[in-house]
């Protein structure tokens, strides 16, 4: 009796907390405080993408990097301060681009509803708009994220999957964030747009096991082609991850991976697990492909990783700086 009168309220309040957490993001979060947020962000994103379509890939990647390090809290946008290097300054960052789009959307929003819309929400909206604008799917973005106050380059290095990750590493990195094996296969399809520099895959061309060999899991003719673009130690050249359609969001990535032309070991690794392999193969046929719909659903999941809500964090005035 005594135990249940003590425990029951505890159990109840715990489940209410969990419920509040699960439902804390909401598409209508700014309905009263900044009703035009979605349109303002969309117009800003469109003005950049129409000038420079390749930015769409960079904006999607920014949101991914944000969510995988400390949750989707805008920490990827923060500048280093007082000599402490931020996520932006970690090795995987050196190729992050698109910060100017976030800053422009933030500036436009500060004019109409100052101090209201978080940088983390802006990034989630911009990534969605960017993908939709290049033939990708649309998804409604649940809103209400708040901005974090911490950004550490060391965490970016430890939290982001490496391009040489194997399938068990990838499954555990994604799993630890609440993402399924299917989400791993689906979200890897983000590589259907965008470019890579040579270093993330040059070992596969020149020195796979340290003996001057190539990666036997990559198509050998493709290796020869890549070698002509990426001489050893080239750090400036870029190559398309989905050759020929790197600016259109489609299923080309899966066709490439299935033909053993995935650019990174982490792409090729999707063929080393029965579930991810079956997913890759299913996407190569337009009659059976579910990729666009799946991508929308997995992005909504990714966009909720570790979010700050309620009174946690802050609403930054400038996305590159804590208040
Ligand atoms: C599965 C583990 C992943 C690994 C190991 C990985 C690794 C990488 C690497 C090494 C690059 C090239 C950077 C450069 O040299 O320029 C890249 C680019 C990119 N990644 Fe990933 N990534 C992963 C997952 C994702 C996910 C989940 C998304 C989004 C849903 C994503 C979206 C992108 C995009 C769009 C680019 C191109 C960026 C641009 O063109 O500026 N990646 N990724
Ligand atoms: C953040 O850093 C970038 C690159 O170093 C710089 O161009 C920008 O002005 C900085 N932003 C602020 C608000 O200090
Ligand atoms: C990424 O980090 C390097 C240093 O490692 C820094 O020079 C560069 O400005 C950073 N890039 C961005 C976009 O902040
Ligand atoms: C995957 O890579 C990790 C190192 O990142 C290694 O410890 C593990 O043994 C590898 N697993 C397989 C199945 O190759
Ligand atoms: C290949 O890798 C081995 C072992 O990591 C290294 O000692 C060697 O210098 C590399 N060769 C080249 C050409 O990079």
Task: Assess whether the region 16-161 and the region 167-300 belong to the same CATH fold.
Answer: no
Q: How far apart are CA 242 and CA 293, in angstroms?
A: 19
- 22, pLDDT greater than 80: no
Residue nearest to atom 6 of ligand 2 (CA): 79
Ligand nearest to the CA of 213: 5
Q: How far apart are CA 104 and CA 320, in angstroms?
A: 12
As its CATH architecture, domain 167-300 has Orthogonal Bundle (1.10)
CA angle 75, 79, 83 (to 5 degrees): 115
- The predicted model scores a pTM of 0.92
Contacts of 219 by beta carbon, 8 Å cutoff, 6+ apart: 259, 260, 261
Ligand nearest to the CA of 207: 5
191 noted as active-site residue: no
93 band by pLDDT with thresholds 50, 70 and 90: low
What confidence score (pLDDT) does residue 24 get?
Answer: 87
Ligand nearest to the CA of 99: 3
Distance in Å, CA 209 to ligand 5 centroid: 9
Q: Tens digit of pLDDT for each residue in 261-294?
A: 999 999 999 999 999 999 999 999 999 999 999 9
Q: Indicate if ligand 4 lies below 6 Å from the C-beta of 166.
A: yes
Q: Tens digit of pLDDT for each residue in 164-180?
A: 999 999 999 999 999 99
Domain positions in the chain? 16-161, 167-300
CB 174 within 8 A of CB 67: no
Distance in Å, CA 156 to ligand 3 centroid: 13
Contacts of 188 by beta carbon, 8 Å cutoff, 6+ apart: 253, 266, 267, 270
Q: Indicate if ligand 3 lies below 6 Å from the C-beta of 43.
A: no
Distance in Å, CA 168 to ligand 4 centroid: 7
Contacts of 120 by beta carbon, 8 Å cutoff, 6+ apart: 66, 72, 73, 74, 145, 146, 147, 148, 307, 308
Q: Indicate if ligand 2 lies below 6 Å from the C-beta of 318.
A: yes
User: What would the CATH number be for the domain defined by 16-161?
Assistant: 1.10.520.10
Handedness of CA 94, 62, 54, 227 (dihedral sign): positive
Element (H, E) at 157: helix 153-159
CB 66 within 8 A of CB 76: yes
Q: Tens digit of pLDDT for each residue in 202-253?
A: 999 999 999 999 999 999 999 999 999 999 999 999 999 999 999 999 999 9
């Amino acid at each position: 009796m005594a135990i249940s009168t003590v425990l029951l309220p505890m159990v109840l309040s715990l489940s209410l907390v969990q419920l509040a957490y699960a439902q804390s993001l909401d598409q209508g979060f700014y309905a009263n405080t900044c009703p035009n947020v979605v349109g303002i962000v969309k117009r800003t994103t469109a003005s950049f993408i129409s000038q420079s379509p390749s930015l769409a890939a960079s904006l999607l990647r920014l949101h991914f990097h944000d969510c995988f390090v400390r949750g989707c809290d805008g920490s990827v946008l923060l500048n280093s301060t007082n000599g402490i290097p931020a996520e932006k300054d970690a090795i995987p960052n050196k190729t992050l681009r698109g910060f100017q789009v976030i800053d422009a959307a933030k500036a436009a929003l500060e004019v109409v509803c100052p101090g209201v819309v978080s940088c983390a929400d802006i990034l989630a909206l911009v990534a969605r708009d960017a993908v939709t604008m290049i033939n990708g799917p649309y998804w409604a973005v649940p809103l209400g994220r708040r901005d974090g106050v911490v950004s550490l380059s060391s965490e970016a290095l430890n939290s982001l999957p490496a391009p040489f990750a194997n399938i068990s590493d990838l499954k555990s990195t994604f799993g630890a964030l609440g993402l399924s094996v299917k989400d791993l296969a689906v979200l890897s399809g983000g590589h259907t747009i965008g470019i890579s520099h040579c270093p993330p895959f040059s070992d596969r061309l020149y020195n796979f096991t340290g003996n001057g060999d190539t990666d036997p899991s990559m198509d050998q003719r493709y290796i020869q082609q890549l070698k002509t673009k990426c001489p050893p130690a080239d750090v400036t050249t870029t190559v398309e991850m989905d050759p020929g359609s790197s600016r259109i969001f489609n299923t080309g990535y899966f066709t490439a991976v299935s033909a053993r032309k995935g650019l990174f070991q982490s792409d090729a690794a999707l063929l080393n697990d029965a579930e991810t392999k079956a997913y890759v193969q299913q996407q190569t046929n337009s009659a059976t492909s579910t990729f666009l719909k799946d991508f929308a659903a997995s992005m909504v999941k990714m966009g909720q990783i570790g979010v700050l809500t309620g009174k946690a964090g802050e609403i930054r005035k400038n996305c590159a700086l804590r208040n």
